[in-house]
Amino acid sequence: MMDLGLSAGPADADLIKDGSEATFTQDVIEASQTVPIIVDFWAPWCGPCKTLGPMLEDAVKAAKGAVKMIKINVDEAQMIAGQLQIQSIPTVYAFFKGQPVDGFQGALPGSELTAFIERVIKAAGGEAPGDTLNDAVAAAEEMLAEGAAVDAAQTFAAILGEDPNHAGAYGGLVRAHIAMEDLDQAEAILNGAPAEISESAELEAAHAQLQLARQAADAGPVAELRAAVEADDGNLQARFDLAQALHASGDAESAVNELLEIFRRDREWNDGAAKEQLFTIFDALKPNDPVVLNGRRKLSSMIFA
């Protein structure tokens, strides 16, 4: 795995441990002078605690030492629970520099726990692992844009080694293999995406790019197809083929214009193939791309005319 500047982090035993009233000052107040301490107030009879605790531990481990966690059984630490006015459990507090800086009551979903941990890290002036991974994704995207598809693929794969559900890295890995013209591998990677991110915008874009790449392999010569359209202006199949060839040659704007012309002439032609192809091109590009913005505007004006 490539080095993304993320250390393996301390052992779990150093990150998460049980605390007590006797050790609270040392484990929380003193320890939080250098690193944020997450304190989980729980009890053995508390059902939601049994759900939250393991999820919170996973979120702390994922932070790789940027925060630590102390578990306090309120049945054995009633004085501290009273001092902190804990009225229900689970209750979680984050301490930094000896003071509570954030907290919540009740069980939260995993995404909100991750956001809580990142918020605490940033409040303490640290950098959340997600920020570092996003920086690595941006660097890999630059490699891909500059034509270094192999290096980009290695970087995307390394990011996924840190976070298998990083949609940006997953979509990037698919697109890197498309750039290497390894379409079967790109499709295999796409089909193996975790369910949690399978419908993300990043993977939808990668899927659209794969569709277009497969079409490009069968696209005809632009000059011949343009001549066919000029010879028979009403030949919508030739115009559609021309649009595919134009996109394959890198001219997305002209491809969109030809597809819009087909839609203007006969929006139901070939079961709405022109509109479907337009959406595939739009999905493959960034949402703020001028080709997408102008194309969607023109399509909308035709639909609602």
Q: Known catalytic residues?
A: 46, 49
State the greatest distance between any 2 C-alpha atoms of the chain, in Å, as a whole number: 90
Give the whole-angstrom CA distance, residue 87 versus residue 236.
Answer: 71
Whether 260 and 278 have beta carbons less than 8 Å apart is answered as yes
Burial class (CB in 10 A: 0-12, 13-18, 19+), 85: exposed
What is the pairing mode between strands 68-73 and 37-42?
parallel
**Among all chains, which residue has been given the structure tokens 């899927």?**
207
Helix, strand, or coil (residue 128): coil
Residues 6+ apart with CB under 8 A from 245: 219, 220, 221, 222, 225
User: Pairing relation of β-strands 68-73 and 16-18?
Assistant: parallel
Half-sphere exposure at residue 181, Cβ-oriented, CA atoms within 13 angstroms: 3
